[in-house]
Structure 1
Amino acid sequence: MDWTLLILLVVPTVVHGNPTVTVRTGSGPPVGSDQHPNSVPLSEETQTTTEVREVVVEEVMMTGVLNPSHYPARRAATVVQHYLNTRYGSPYRWIFLSKVHSGSAEDVAEMRKYQLELTMQEIISNVSGQCSAELLFPGGEGQSAPQVQASCEGLLQSNTTAQEEAFYQQHRASNNMVSGNDIPDSYGHMEPNMKPFWHLGGVASSFIMLKESNESTLYNMAQVANFTQLETEKDQLRVNYHVLLHEMISQEIIHWKLLVTWSPEQGVQVLQTELQPKCHNCEAPPNTTN
């Protein structure tokens, strides 16, 4: 009788137990699978002890060869995107990250240095180019902009001179100053004549996102809340912008006001910036890159 009872107690444990448990967070591979140490993704939906452990692992495993599909490499690559926009962006040229091919990181003095091989895409013309980039994230206290060097092949092949000149001449001496708000709207739509101002606002936002970026941020412009064209000065179009930036790691929506100037000869310049008070109940508006 004693042996019979013992068998009955043991068998259910063997049949119905869970000898192997894998936990998925986000779209990444199961924790504990055979993967590169840099491949642990962040998840905003799964609130578990495993998620907390993954975040810690990601933050400490950011040197050496990086997994190009996950945050350490993609955060750095997005900074390259903002850098290229500050140099080459216009109402008809807006550059986005397409793919990270490879990356590495190392500690150099008090800074972290990233080496990246990327594909960038100019979304208006749909032209892509291969880029090599080096980034230095400053260490220590205080916020200072990352230092970026990048070279690209083929990215700027599209000729936007005619479009830019026509846009410039249309608005340089106009008596009807253009304005707009909620671009895109709550359905993700915008009028065709608003697109150049949307692109210009996105390029101008890259100046802010480049300056504010560090190894723990991932910025994207979500919306132009409103803009107002001002009188042209010194042959520069001038526009006041109120933009909403989405910091995707913290999920914060951050409001900035910018005074932006542009001409085909001088390019985009951001003359004034003003961080607005936090909006704790704000949600990310729909995003579009059209």
Structure 2
Amino acid sequence: MALRIIVILAALMGVTGSPTTTVRPETSSVDTAAHPNSIPETAEETGQNEVFSEEEGAEDVMATGELNPNHYPAQRAAKVVQHYLTTRYGSPYRLFGLQRVHSGNAEDVGDSGRKYQLEIAVHEIISNTTQKCSAEVFFPHGQKQESPQVQASCEELLNISTKAQEEALYQQYKMNQTLISAQNLPDSHGHIEPDTKPLWHLGIVASSFIMLKESNENTLYNMAQVANITQLATENDQLKFDCHTLLHDMVSQVNTHNYELLDALENGRKSKLFP
């Protein structure tokens, strides 16, 4: 799945607002063959260390009761928790990865959906901090797909302060004489230049909004690559980027749809994209 993302970031720490998304399918499709540098996310950047076999992928996703922590039903629900934490608390200097699922349980909630209770190890990648967290994921059922509902308790990881680095990065980007841009993060060898890592991380945070929105019991999304990201000119104190990212659903292997995503700021809630 390819996404073209317009990301608008809060200029100053403490600015209120919450990123929202508008997704419109386009008539054209994106073939992964047209993106030879697209590669899966690394375990270092995502915390996703499990490799699934075809047998595991075929496991009944509607299993109830105690779940095998290494199989898809538990892993899918846990991956949603990762996207949730990233959308709520992620930034160019704070990223969350799923390190391990310790235990999982699933139960039907009438006809309304299914609830997953999880004990997982979440890794804050940049500070290299890991915490065991409790989480609950509810997948609504119905003719119209709704985003999963998530609750997670990871207080230790959320107390990591990155405001100083984010403020310094904001000032750097705002004072640049030329608008910055980067392509193919990472490249075909998995390499990312140190000065472009914040842009790569920003692409992960922005894409997590869509991965969370589109996730269900039959998906397992990762971001594969920032194909390109370009800073756009603004006349206010915001930073704005046009970002084209590639997403991969490990379950379906689908990576061919093209969408346009607009992230904007609304008053009322604090933006976690760039505090």
User: Which interval holds the TM-score relative to the shorter structure?
Assistant: 0.7 to 0.9
TM-score (norm 1): 0.70
2: CA distance between counterparts of 1:261 and 1:175? 25
Letter in 2 for 1:200: L
Cα distance, 1:100–1:181 mapped onto 2, change above 3 Å: same
Cα distance per residue 1:93-134 (max 9 Å; x no partner) = 111111111110000022001111111011111111221111
Structure with max Cα Rg: 1
Greater Cα shift, 155-164 or 216-225: 155-164
1:259 Cα shift?
4.3
Paired residues of 1:80 and 1:150 also in contact (CA < 8 A): yes
Structure 2, unpaired ranges of 5+: 1-50
Alignment of 1:156-171 (within 5 A): 156-171=158-173
Task: Name 2:86's counterpart in structure 1.
Answer: 85
Task: Name 1:206's counterpart in structure 2.
Answer: 208
Pick from 186, 189, 201: which aligns with 1:187? 189
Paired residues of 2:86 and 2:95 also in contact (CA < 8 A): yes
Paired residues of 1:218 and 1:247 also in contact (CA < 8 A): yes
Cα distance, 1:72–1:162 mapped onto 2, change above 3 Å: same
Paired residues of 1:240 and 1:260 also in contact (CA < 8 A): no
Paired residues of 1:240 and 1:258 also in contact (CA < 8 A): no
Cα distance, 1:108–1:88 mapped onto 2, change above 3 Å: same
Task: Name 2:100's counterpart in structure 1.
Answer: 99
Letter in 2 for 1:220: N
TM-score (norm 2): 0.73
Task: Name 1:277's counterpart in structure 2.
Answer: none
Structure 1, unpaired ranges of 5+: 1-40, 45-50, 270-290
1: CA distance between counterparts of 2:208 and 2:239? 18
Greater Cα shift, 151-160 or 243-252: 151-160
2: CA distance between counterparts of 1:85 and 1:165? 19
Q: Name the SS of the counterpart of 2:154 in structure 1.
A: strand
1:239 Cα shift?
0.7
Task: Name 1:177's counterpart in structure 2.
Answer: 179
Paired residues of 1:130 and 1:153 also in contact (CA < 8 A): no
Paired residues of 2:57 and 2:71 also in contact (CA < 8 A): no
1: CA distance between counterparts of 2:263 and 2:177? 19
2: CA distance between counterparts of 1:126 and 1:55? 30
Alignment of 1:41-52 (within 5 A): 43-44=53-54
2: CA distance between counterparts of 1:104 and 1:221? 27
Point out which structure has higher relative CO (alpha carbons under 8 A, 6+ apart): 2
Alignment of 1:58-69 (within 5 A): 58-60=60-62, 62-69=63-70
Greater Cα shift, 152-161 or 73-82: 152-161
1:236 Cα shift?
2.0
Paired residues of 2:65 and 2:105 also in contact (CA < 8 A): yes
1:266 Cα shift?
3.5
Cα distance, 1:91–1:261 mapped onto 2, change above 3 Å: farther
Alignment of 1:5-16 (within 5 A): none
2: CA distance between counterparts of 1:174 and 1:157? 31
Letter in 1 for 2:142: G
Report the RMSD for the aligned CA atoms in angstroms.
2.2
Letter in 2 for 1:268: L
Alignment of 1:75-154 (within 5 A): 75-109=76-110, 110-154=112-156
